Chains A and B, each alone.
Chain A
């Protein structure tokens, strides 16, 4: 089975195709692949508790590792303790570690 890191940079209220990217992540996980889903830029916005999109992100977090870029969170004034359950803050260094992992493919949206 494969390993993937999917990088979501868009806000679902700005880009309706974010759902397709989340579906791709969950589909890969259901297929037995190891998937990390890294939120960056406006992609971190739905990770706030109380956001209308939080449900789908929390659901995704039950099947894949969902990480949120600490820098993007800080830029937008989102505290780590305000994140949806299942989403963990992570550094850009952690993203590089994932990208450089043997056999892991990186996809940007």
Chain B
């Protein structure tokens, strides 16, 4: 039976393995038919920033294509493609955290919100997992 997971992410992109683990959790939950609601706050609001670009490696002399550098916004976009119908992925970027970081230009999918929506999600969903930063 489909249930809904509220997942709270805090870490910024390209810093910690928790980002990868968080994405694996979202992917697995969607693949198993569960809806997922992600509340991104603090540095995690940068995960969906639209202006992220892959880069070459000038030290090794490799090109962008050779590096195949993954960006978190592309991973999130892929998760949104998985969760575009049923099961569904929803994503809120904390508005206060977005404004602090000037991170308001994001990919299609996420919306702006705040602690009120998080509290409502936690009360309404079957499971909640908070992955705080260390």
> Which A residues lie at the B interface, using CB under 8 A?
7, 9-10, 15, 40-42, 71, 92-93, 95-97, 99-100, 102, 104, 106, 108
CB atoms of B128 and A106 under 8 A apart: yes
A to B contact number (C-beta, < 8 Å): 48
Is B56 among interface residues, defined by CB-CB distance under 8 A?
A: no
Contact of A96 among B17, B34, B131 (CB under 8 A): B34
Contact of B28 among A9, A41, A93, A106 (CB under 8 A): A93
B: contact size bracket: 20 to 34
> Which B residues lie at the A interface, using CB under 8 A?
3, 5, 17-18, 21, 24-25, 28-29, 31-32, 34, 126-132, 134
CB atoms of A108 and B32 under 8 A apart: no
CB atoms of B21 and A9 under 8 A apart: yes
A15 and B134 alpha carbons, distance in the complex (Å): 10
A15 and B132 alpha carbons, distance in the complex (Å): 15
A102 and B17 alpha carbons, distance in the complex (Å): 28
CB atoms of B24 and A71 under 8 A apart: yes
CB atoms of B34 and A100 under 8 A apart: yes
Q: In the complex, which residue of chain A has the Cβ closest to the Cβ of B34?
A: A100
A95 and B22 alpha carbons, distance in the complex (Å): 12
A40 and B16 alpha carbons, distance in the complex (Å): 13
CB atoms of A41 and B21 under 8 A apart: yes
